[in-house]
Amino acid sequence: MAYNNAIPQPTDELRNSQGDILNNFQAIKTAWDINHVTFDLANQGKHNYVTLPEQSAGPATAANELAIYSKQSTLTSVAELFVRKESSGDEIEFTSAIAATPGWTRLPSGILLKWGATTANGATTITLPTGATIPAFTTIFSVQLTIVDAGATDADEAVSVRSFATPTAFNVFASARSTTGAKAVNFEYLVIGE
């Protein structure tokens, strides 16, 4: 049953247009009930879930407006969620990720997180993965390191960040903790930036 926006006409009598009016109310309820709690129950006006059809381009936003929408990602080649800042500002893709090691994700704020696991021996440069499906940092804010050692005893290992002056890599020094000199150390990293 389709909604009929041509009823009632000024000359219609209720007894003649009542069926059309009832059909319109049913059509409105049917449309409303998609993704919503039905409007004649408790919690009316709330969503069960939100379905966002994929857009071909980000929508325009005015001052003091924000848009959340679905669009095909150039990174994952599937529909992802984006946020568009006010006044048709930046578009931030925030549901794409590689949930593996190495991996990455972007937060709705625009912050990019990357993680991975590697081994260093002495002064070592760790180059962060980038590519067609992996975004690159423009700036690195912080690098966190965690030693990975499956041994039951103290492995006498240390790894520290030396620098992260470029957005494509960071430098570490891996050594024995109790003596000077290089040592091979397995570790995981978390890099935060934009």
40-67 pLDDT, tens digit each: 778 878 888 899 999 999 999 999 999 9
Mean pLDDT of 139-151: 92
Confidence of residue 168 (pLDDT cuts 50, 70, 90): very high
Three-state secondary structure call for residue 114: strand
- Total count of domains within the chain: 3
In tens, the pLDDT along 4-50 reads: 888 888 888 888 888 888 988 898 888 888 888 887 778 878 888 89
In a domain, 102, yes or no: no
25 lies in which domain range? 1-51
Residue 37 and residue 10 share a domain? yes
Q: What percent of the chain has pLDDT over 70?
A: 99
Give the H or E element holding residue 160: strand 158-163
pTM (two decimals): 0.75
Confidence of residue 154 (pLDDT cuts 50, 70, 90): confident
Confidence of residue 172 (pLDDT cuts 50, 70, 90): very high
Q: Supply 10's token pair.
A: 């000024």
Q: What is the CATH number of the domain that holds 149?
A: 2.60.40.2080
Residue 178 and residue 115 share a domain? yes
Mean pLDDT of 152-162: 89
Residue 136 and residue 125 share a domain? yes
Which residues have C-beta within 8 Å of that of residue 29, sequence separation ≥ 6? 38, 39, 40
In a domain, 98, yes or no: no
Q: How far is CA 104 from CA 46, 82, 116, 119, in A?
A: 33, 16, 9, 19
Statement: residue 152 has pLDDT above 80: no
- Average pLDDT over the chain, rounded to an integer: 91
Residue 46 and residue 2 share a domain? yes
In a domain, 182, yes or no: yes
Statement: residue 1 has pLDDT above 70: no
Q: What percent of the chain has pLDDT over 90?
A: 63
For residues 4 and 2, what is the distance between their CA atoms, to the nearest angstrom? 6
Confidence of residue 139 (pLDDT cuts 50, 70, 90): very high
